[in-house]
Amino acid sequence: MDDHAVVKGLRRAELARRTGCNLETVRYYEKIGLLPEPPRTAAGYRSYDTGHERRLRFVLRARELGFSIDEVRELLRLVDERDQPCAEARTLAADHLADVCAKIADLKRMERVLEEMVAQCDDGARPECPLIEALFQEQSAISRERPRRPGLHG
């Protein structure tokens, strides 16, 4: 069956399988309101449709890109409440991109400091370990190097 065909009556396990996510993830996204609760069949089973699948794929992709739950909720609000959500979505994504770039810069600084610390250990034959001593220091080289970024928590 074509994954893009209109589908009705999917059970939760089938929805999870079709989207490649965990069954518990579907439950969680329903519980926190990112995925609307589906109607139930006469027998009481949840009955998901293509709309649920599409929305779940949206949430999964946004999470894969590192958007927080609150950011995903905001993006979904734009989808649900706006005819032209592009400007607001762009702003949200640009802010997220700035956060990602800052995290990458922090990781690069950490990499540099760790490389230096590992290099100080030579072959590990010293009685005192410079790496362990460096970790006891009051302020690490990484925090001395980190620029202050207003509005971001590190």
Residues in the chain: 154
- Residue 111 and residue 139 in contact, taking contact as beta carbons nearer than 8 Å: no
Give a yes or no: residue 41 inside a domain: yes
**Which residues are CB-neighbours of 33 under 8 A, at least 6 positions away?**
73
The number of distinct structural domains making up the chain is: 2
* pLDDT for res 62: 97
Which residue among 18, 40, 67 closes a domain?
67
Per-residue confidence of the chain (154 residues) as pLDDT tens digits? 444 555 578 999 999 999 999 999 999 999 999 999 999 988 889 999 999 999 999 999 999 999 999 999 999 999 998 777 888 999 999 999 999 999 999 999 999 988 888 887 776 677 788 778 878 887 655 566 655 554 444 4
Instruction: Give ∠ CA 16-84-69 in degrees, rounded to 5.
Output: 40
Give a yes or no: residue 75 inside a domain: no
* pLDDT for res 50: 94
Other beta carbons less than 10 A from residue 153's beta carbon:
5
* pLDDT for res 84: 73
Packing angle between helix 23-31 and helix 12-19, nearest 10 degrees? 110
- The parent domain of residue 122 ranges over 102-145
Q: Is there a single domain that holds both residue 13 and residue 63?
A: yes
Q: Is the pTM of this model over 0.75?
A: no
